[in-house]
């Protein structure tokens, strides 16, 4: 399946160990628990060294809590007069106390930018134009055997209202020259609008919560041996190709642009057949809802075996 990591976190394996890459992959709860545990362990270590070098006995728990507050910049370690080790510990704790808040702010910003507003289907559906599940397309291409690529996604953030969602699709291909040089080509693909006409940018006026949207990309060619071999004039056999789908919209109230994207490997992330339509369930509470059932599934495209297609409204 295609990677679900945000695009700016998808990097060369050489950089896969970077802090930003790691923070973007870890859940927020695990980050908080890990940071709290690390600071508490460090505070206990400071308290142990502080107690061993003290001339008089001090309560270990009290010193640990004081060290913890010092490490987050809210207190300072007690220093015995003439005890250079205490001075060193207090200096190190003060320096850590300056860095920790800045580090927390950086982690918060990374997590904010790593939040994705959309859930993408992990694979592309490839069907013939005569098998598409949208009536407006059937009316225009019902007799065509050309292939159509269908990309599905939906917005899963309930309190984020997005208007004028614009979708573009790009084909990225790589080829190797005789001298070993690697060339990468990117060109924009035509997609179908609501009326079934070709366009460069598909616009959805509104973006409802949890309502799957479908982007239809005509291949401009028939399937070869039941497989996709050409996409709008570009041969796919023997060449590494990716489909990049980008969406941008305007968040209501914030007046900021919301962007997202997904990359599909056309050699792996392709399913041949119709997607399942989604069905509401009034028995599931909103807070416990984890996504549409069978959103990743595909119907058998053989009418004698598969489930008859339940057509959705026009995209």
156 and 119 Cβ atoms separated by less than 8 Å: yes
| pLDDT above 90 as % of the chain | 9
The whole-number pLDDT of residue 167 equals 94
Say whether both 106 and 157 belong to one domain. Answer: no
Mean pLDDT over 287-313 rounds to 53
Domain residues for the domain of 270 are 118-288
206 with 144, same domain?
yes
CA max distance for the chain: 92
Is 93 domain-assigned? yes
Alpha-carbon distance of 148 to 224, in angstroms, equals 13
pLDDT of residue 2: 37
- Residue 285: which pLDDT band, with cuts at 50, 70 and 90? low
Q: What is the pLDDT of residue 189?
A: 92
Q: Do 260 and 123 fall within a single domain?
A: yes
Question: Does 174 lie in the same domain as 99?
Answer: no
Q: Rg (Cα) of the chain, in Å, rounded?
A: 28
Q: What is the CATH number of the domain that holds 18?
A: 1.10.287
- What average pLDDT does the segment 222-243 reach? 84
Domain count across the chain: 2
Crossing angle of helices 28-52/60-71, nearest 10°? 130
Mean pLDDT of 245-266: 86
The answer to whether residue 19 sits within a structural domain is yes
Between 16 and 247, residue with greater pLDDT: 247
CATH number at residue 246: 2.60.40.1400
The answer to the question of residue 189 being in a domain is yes
| The last residue of a domain, from among 83, 114, 145 | 114
The domain boundary residue, chosen from 95, 114, 133: 114
What is the pLDDT, as a whole number, of residue 112? Answer: 60
**Which one is predicted more confidently, 217 or 159?**
217
Same domain, yes or no: 194 and 83: no
Token pair belonging to 305 = 């075996």
pLDDT digits (tens, 9 = 90+) for 173-192: 877 766 767 777 888 999 98
pLDDT (tens digit, 9 = 90+) per residue, 259-281?
888 999 988 888 888 887 776 66
pLDDT band at residue 170 using 50, 70 and 90 as cut-offs: very high
Domain assignment present for residue 278? The answer is yes
Position 26 pLDDT exceeds 70: no
CB atoms within 10 A of CB 260: 20
Q: For the residues of 212-232, what is the DSSP string, one character each?
A: -EEEEEEEEEE-BTTB--EET
DSSP 265-297: ETTTSEEESPBPPP---TTS-GGG--S-TTTT-
């Amino acid at each position: 399946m295609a990677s679900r990591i945000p695009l700016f976190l998808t990097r060369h394996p050489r950089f896969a160990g970077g802090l930003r890459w790691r923070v973007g992959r870890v859940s927020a709860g695990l980050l908080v628990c890990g940071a709290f545990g690390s600071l508490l362990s460090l505070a206990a270590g400071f308290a142990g060294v502080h107690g061993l070098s003290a001339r008089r006995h001090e309560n270990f728990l009290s010193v640990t809590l004081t060290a913890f507050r010092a490490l987050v910049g809210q207190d300072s370690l007690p220093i015995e007069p003439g005890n250079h080790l205490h001075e060193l510990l207090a200096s190190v704790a003060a320096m850590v106390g300056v860095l920790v808040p800045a580090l927390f702010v950086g982690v918060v910003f990374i997590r904010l930018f790593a939040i994705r507003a959309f859930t993408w289907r992990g694979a592309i559906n490839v069907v013939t134009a005569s098998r598409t599940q949208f009536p407006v397309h059937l009316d225009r291409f019902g007799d065509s055997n050309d292939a159509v690529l269908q990309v599905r996604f939906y917005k899963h953030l309930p309190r984020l209202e997005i208007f004028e969602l614009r979708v573009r699709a790009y084909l990225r291909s790589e080829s190797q020259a005789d001298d070993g040089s690697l060339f990468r080509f990117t060109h924009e693909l035509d997609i179908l609008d609501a009326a079934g006409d070709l366009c460069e940018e598909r616009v959805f006026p509104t973006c409802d919560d949890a309502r799957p949207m479908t982007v239809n990309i005509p291949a401009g060619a028939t399937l070869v041996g039941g497989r996709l071999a050409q996409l709008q004039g570009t041969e796919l056999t023997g060449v590494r190709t990716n489909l990049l789908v980008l969406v941008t919209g305007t968040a209501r109230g914030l007046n900021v642009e919301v962007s997202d994207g997904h990359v599909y490997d056309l050699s792996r992330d392709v399913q041949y057949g119709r997607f399942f339509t989604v069905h509401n369930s009034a028995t599931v509470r909103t807070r416990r809802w984890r996504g549409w059932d069978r959103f990743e599934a595909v119907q058998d495209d053989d009418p004698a075996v598969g489930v008859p297609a339940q057509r959705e409204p026009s995209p």
